[in-house]
A and B are shown apart, each in its own frame.
Chain A
Amino acid sequence: MIEVIGLHKAYGPRLALRDVSFNVAKGEIAAFLGPNGAGKTTTMRILTGFLPADAGEVRVAGFDVFDDPHAVRQRVGYLPETPPLYPELSVGVYLDFCAELRGMARKDRSRRVGETMERVGLVGWERRLLGSLSKGYRQRVGLAQAILHDPPVLILDEPTSGLDPAQVAGIRDLVLSLAGDHTVILSTHILSEVEALCPRAVVIANGQIVADGAIEELRGRAAGGPWTYVEVQGIEGPQLGRLPGVKLVEPLGEVNGWAAWRVRAEGDPREGLAASAASGAFRVRALERRLPSLEEAFISIVGREGTAA
């Protein structure tokens, strides 16, 4: 549904994107992750046809963004980083204007605007001026504007930035309800949100795609990969490290008199550890396979300096 091949974009001497390529399949929700200034917004602006690219190919819903921008615009709903609102218009008038911009007939307009307002939780707000809305409501109106014409492709630039946890949950439910018949690409740097929403993440840093895959896969690959959490008694670190298959042990402190360790091994060491414990070498009460957290994965992928911003 979204195909990006070899995208390059420079702002003057500064290269913003270099050789960016990725695909998003129909009905998929993909997260676009990366530190601030990595090129997320630039990529999204190119996807919507707002910015031209210097080189590369972008196809959205089967149409080339550069050759046939009109067809793409009809099929894309876009929420820019700051919701595009006219402070002097009311919610109802604004959404009606947006519907008209998308070429909806008068009789469909009021129905669609009503439905959309219900969907994003704006019922009873149609007469409020946009300039008087709080951040959360501004974001809702921005989202309403993006889904108004029921576009097959949704591009959301930081849809939850600056919202409180309840509002974030609301937007998350909304995006989840759109999955299936809509292809969604959303950028964010809130990692817990990615795990809750998107099975798939594309990670960008310094204008380049540095990782692309299922969240589990990224976590498994990054930061040294999967590891085993153990809580043991009656064995010291060096002995634990000499057990068959074990490559590395790191202390994680003590939990109620039990020593906790992070064990890295060739393959899955749990069976071997359990067998050693059963033979009476030591006592064990926890033996758990774990993946690095998305935070750890993210930092190991984009590098520490990337997250400082």
Chain B
Amino acid sequence: MSTVFTIWKKEMRVYAVNPTAYAFLAVFLFLSGLFFFLGITLTGEASLRVLASNLAIVELFILPMLTMRHFAEERRQGTLEMLLTSPISPFALVLGKWLASVTLCGLMFLGTAILPAILAYYGDPDWGVVASTYLGLLLAAAAFCAAGLFSSSLLDDQLAAGLLGIVFLLPFWLVSRAEALVGDELAERVRPFGVLNHLDSFGRGIVDSADVYYFAALAFCFLFLTYRALESRRWR
């Protein structure tokens, strides 16, 4: 467990001085503000509903870019060779990196805390709903980061890894809104795999264990695949 913390600490240090991380943080905060503003002016209600559903999509595009560095860059720098020949398990490596990226997401959400504060100043938001909305977004972020790590473990090129991560995640978005594409019957069947459907109830203030399991399972699958990709090491 202490090795997970060692990796986590190092990743947080690297994030702290990484200009790309700050750039994506800025984009994320800007879009949060924009969707918050649009949501308020369009619906006229003191809630984060519009913000939350749009922010999930923003996460889907930004988080793979934030995690693309992890294994692709370690491999390019040759540091992966050192990590994998150190007496730590590849699983601790994957877990430490994942926890660091989830921590960064947490910090990003902290940056958006001003938005509910504005709601509270002008209106009377339901704090339970605000909390469950944030919980849902954080769970989605955890799953998306795992997907980003997986794509990063597959490719040597950072940018390609980031784009591949988005490609991995797009289907989970598309199946949530598949009615127009494939007809009602099939859409009904694939809907349980959609990210947005599982976020809906969080947005209504309901924390359903099925939704929590969905994101946990998604994260677990991608982390496991990352671990397998590192273990196989057949590249080169």
How many angstroms from the CA of A246 to the CA of B227 in the assembled complex?
Answer: 68
Does A101 lie within 8 Å of B236, measured CB to CB? no
B141 to chain A, nearest CB (A): 23
- Name B85's contact: one of A52, A73, A82, A87 (CB within 8 Å): A73
CB contact between A100 and one of B6, B18, B236 (< 8 Å): that residue: B6
A117 and B83 CA atoms in complex are apart in Å by 21
Query: Does A84 lie within 8 Å of B236, measured CB to CB?
Result: no
Query: Are B10 and A73 in contact, CB atoms less than 8 angstroms apart?
Result: no
Q: Are A70 and B14 in contact (CB under 8 A)?
A: no
Contact flags B116-134 to A (C-beta < 8 A → 1, else 0)? 0000000000000000000
User: B7-29 toward A: CB 8 Å interface, digit per residue (1/0)?
Assistant: 00110011001100000000000
Q: Which of A11, A86, A89, A101 contacts B86 (CB 8 A)?
A: A101
Residues of B within 8 A of A84 (CB): 77-82
What residue of chain A has the Cβ atom nearest to residue B73's Cβ? A86
B44 sits at the interface (CB 8 A): no
Tell whether, in the assembled complex, residue B87 and residue A70 are in contact, meaning their CB atoms are under 8 Å apart.
yes
* B interface size (C-beta, 8 A): 24
- List residues of A (63-109) whose CB comes within 8 Å of B's CBs: 70, 73-74, 76, 78, 80-89, 93, 97-98, 100-103
A84 to B77 Cα, complex, angstroms: 6
For residue B233, CB closer than 8 A to chain A, the reply is: yes
B87 A73 Cβ-Cβ under 8 A: yes
Q: Are A145 and B82 in contact (CB under 8 A)?
A: yes
A51 CB-CB contact with B under 8 Å:
yes
Contacts A89-B14, A97-B6 given; does A73 touch B81 at CB 8 Å = no
Are A88 and B14 closer than 8 Å at their CB atoms?
yes
Q: Which chain B positions have C-beta within 8 A of A74?
A: 87
How distant is B228 from chain A, measured CB to nearest CB, in Å?
Answer: 14
Closest CB in chain B relative to A12 CB, distance in Å: 10
Within the complex, what minimum Cβ distance (angstroms) separates A42 from chain B?
Answer: 9
> Would you call A125 an interface residue if the criterion is a C-beta within 8 Å of the partner chain's C-beta atoms?
no
Least CB separation from A51: chain B residue: B233
Q: In the complex, are the beta carbons of B6 and A86 less than 8 A apart?
A: no
Measuring CB to CB, which residues of chain A are less than 8 angstroms from any residue of chain B? 11, 45, 48-52, 70, 73-74, 76, 78, 80-89, 93, 97-98, 100-103, 145
Chain B residues near A (Cβ < 8 Å): 2-3, 6, 9-10, 13-14, 17-18, 77-89, 233, 236
Subset of 5 A-B contacts with CB under 8 Å: A11-B236, A52-B233, A80-B78, A80-B82, A81-B78
Known: A50-B85, A88-B17, A101-B6. 12 other contacts (CB 8 A): A11-B236, A50-B233, A70-B87, A78-B81, A78-B82, A80-B78, A82-B78, A84-B82, A85-B79, A86-B14, A101-B83, A103-B3
